[in-house]
Structure 1
């Protein structure tokens, strides 16, 4: 009788272990299936067949465990195998999910831009409500007509108020009219505020906002449907240095076209100085102005302006807010760049000798902002910005970045906006890993001559520094881009 009870006890224990293993098998199958699907869909670890090897190994574990459970043998071994597989696959899935969340986060605002328009009166004005305003002054002929019209329609619908609108030549002209008491109220696009600040550093204390309206507009770039697995494509990298949401429209201080050829493993970074005098697309109406002003009409205006200038198609864009992006430098333990001329930065008063310099986040910000103490001015600043961006990317794709994985993911979401899909990004990383980091990166910048007598479409009342592009420099840059795209 004791043997029977003992046998019955072992039988019940065996059934429990078998049931436990069957439950584990279901969990492992679900997590492994989701992991394999995510790896293959997003091209994660798609180099040297690693993602396929992982898929095969997980498949073997599931089939072998199913066989052992069916035969009711190797119960302890099966439980251990399934537990280890569940832990590993769950950890891997967490990592892939974090990548997917990052991609979703930086792409979440990629298809729209935000404009904020406000109604302003003098700071000492008794007017405090939009219903008290009888007339507004605004520049309706400089590419901002649609936004101003949308503001007036919103006021009419939400406040049941009709306001007369008078035109002026620019936002600076409107500001001058307001502070000189020539008008009671003006419309001001927040994107133009730093232009007014350059005209009057004390402007904020002289006016007050009584009404604001945020406008969202679709971003329309020529991204092609077949570019996910394309071997050759162009990425526009826009560097801004402002506060607020990354989706907010802003002038672009950095304008780099990254031409990538995955077959030849070549990358060409082409810098167009912010002051380059070019025809501004979209809201700029094809009128001539400095390139940085294209950004005030949205990132797609910058993309289309550069497409027209170089005669290429730009497939993707990346906007970096340097103020927040460079905070990642400290998490990465700093970066090293090669400095080819000695200078001291206005930001932070940092001294940078010739040679390899190690930068923390504040030093990096001073390094990318400085232009006045550089021999080549804005051209040399563009080269320094390229160096810092490249150094940060190299650190982000290194194994040392894994220590601060969560912080880096969070930081990137706050400082980067892009329409670059995760599979395409993973293709670049996979090529880098497979080639052992042998991408050849070259840089170029178009040159020109500085002038102060060229008219600005966005700021017609101001005398601004412009860089008139040298035709031979532009032709040389175009040829270099084509050579990389054609694999030469």
Structure 2
């Protein structure tokens, strides 16, 4: 949705075609940051230093084979590989010296650190080598929920209405790197009526992942690619997502700083040390301050639910700023930031038509927001077999309310 607001002024300055090509480039190519980790006190400095050692890997991780090939081509004495089906068992094996090194997706470090008893895991290990494994994303078909007979509704070809999935991944760097998706917001847009409905789904929501055939936290779906996150949300709400927009921390900060900051509304007084104290009402924030506002959850009794509400407030603020006349002169500078930090599968011709529609129609936008909630519990997940994780069990009535809101906006005339 950030990019939709940004693109409204592009035709006027003649940069539309170039920008659309840059923003949508490589939208079918994702990267898994695979790393070889050793304990923090290990004296290894490069891959050849672990020759002849025992190295653990997750047997469910297909990208591990690519790292093994690199290791085998580097060491003089071959290493012994051991497959694990439990990531915590593998982490323990590294920490207690059973394994000299382990191979895993770098995103798993934070997941392990979230578990009780592993809070200092990142301090006890060290990254020895990193390999970027490229994954070609397959074009998705209609999602089928094998566990449900509930009738789904899908969008028609009406170009005036569409659904965008906004994914915010929990890392800096390459926006196409697979990682946990900590922001999961649907933007249901009706161009004809000027109505945007934002629907937030908490990161810990316990949902069915159709592509994996099992249940997990929604945030973990991002580890398997944006298409897995889309499929899970489509299945939850019984909808078809038309497009996605994906952004990481560095992109988020850069765009807001280029805008000159935004005015975001806060329901609470709270402080994120050492960044900023936020007061009830509107707060003018920089990119870093907006990121801190959008990520904070420990300051609130509602935790992740309130974080989702704050994230939607940030999106509202960005849309309001980007559609204001004062920003038009800065579009060229903003575009330079967007090209490297936003990933989307929206075709350029579709965006072009949307921009033309906006420029030729006097639309006043109404932006509403809604978040679903649930009940916390510990249970098993697809990505962390053999252990339990904190999850949020969906509130069925909230989900039904979200479905009604989505359908209502799509049906508006």
TM-score range normalised by the length of the shorter chain: 0.7 to 0.9
Shift of residue 231 of structure 1? 2.3
Tell me the residue number matched to 1:447: 373
Which of 99, 107, 124 aligns to 1:191? It is 107
Distance change (3 Å), C-alpha of 1:228 and 1:190: farther
Q: What is the TM-score normalised by the length of structure 1?
A: 0.72
Superposed CA offset, 1:368-413 (max 9, x none): 1122223432122112111211221232233322333332112112
Q: For each residue in 1:267-312, what CA deviation from the matched residue of structure 2 results, as whole angstroms up to 9, or x when unmatched?
A: 2211110010111243xx2221111000111111111111111121
Tell me, yes or no, if the aligned pair for 2:47 and 2:71 is still in contact at 8 Å.
no
Question: Aligned to 1:473, which of 392, 398, 411?
Answer: 398
Structure 1 position 338 matched with structure 2 position 256: no
2:89 maps to which residue?
173
Deviations 1:108-149 (CA, angstroms, capped at 9, x unpaired): 1311110122223334445543571453212214xx2x2223
Tell me, yes or no, if the aligned pair for 1:345 and 1:366 is still in contact at 8 Å: no
- Residue aligned with 2:68, SS: helix
Distance apart, 1:209 and its partner CA: 3.9
Instruction: Map 1:48-447; keep pairs closer than 5 Å.
Output: 95-96=13-14, 98-125=15-42, 128-130=46-48, 132-141=51-60, 144=61, 146-153=62-69, 155-156=71-72, 163-199=79-115, 200=118, 202-222=120-140, 230-282=159-211, 285-339=212-266, 341-348=267-274, 350-447=276-373
Q: CA deviation at 1:428?
A: 3.4
- Whether the 8 Å contact between 2:8 and 2:358 is mirrored in structure 1 is no
What SS does the corresponding residue of 2:337 show, helix, strand or coil?
A: helix
Taking a change above 3 Å as real, the CA distance of residues 207 and 306 of structure 1, as seen in their structure-2 partners, is same
Helix, strand or coil at the partner of 1:253: strand
Paired positions, count: 391
Deviates further, 460-469 or 234-243: 460-469
Is the contact between residue 275 and residue 289 of structure 2 (CA under 8 Å) also seen in structure 1? Answer: no
Partner SS for 1:327:
helix
Q: Which has the higher contact order (CA 8 A, sep 6+)?
A: 2
Provide Cα deviations, 1:449-478, integer angstroms capped at 9, x if missing partner. Answer: 111x21122223554321100112112212
More helix by share: 1
In structure 2, what is the Cα distance between the partners aligned to 1:370 and 1:44? 31
CA contact (8 A) 2:9 2:331 kept: no
Q: In angstroms, what is the RMSD of aligned CA positions? A: 3.0
Please give the secondary structure, in 2, of the residue aligned with 1:376.
Answer: coil
- Give the distance between the partners of 1:404 and 1:265, measured in 2 at CA: 24
Gap change, CA 1:480 and 1:204, over 3 Å in 2: closer
Q: Which SS does the other structure have where 2:107 is aligned?
A: helix
- Spell out, residue by residue over 1:179-236, the C-alpha distance to the aligned partner (whole angstroms, 9 max, x if none): 1011222112112122234354544553344443321111234389x99972222111
Deviation at 1:315, TM superposition (A): 1.5
Cα contact 2:9–2:328 (8 A) shared by 1: no
CA contact (8 A) 1:228 1:424 kept: no
Extract unaligned runs of 5+ from structure 2.
1-6, 143-154
Per-residue CA deviations over 1:241-275 (Å, capped at 9, x if unaligned) read 41211111111111011122223332221111001
Structure with higher strand content:
2
- Render the CA deviation track for 1:17-66: whole Å, top value 9, x for unaligned: xxxxxxxxxxxxxxxxxxxxxxxxxx9989xxxx9xxxxxxxxxxxxxxx
Q: Runs of 5+ in structure 1 lacking a partner?
A: 1-42, 52-91
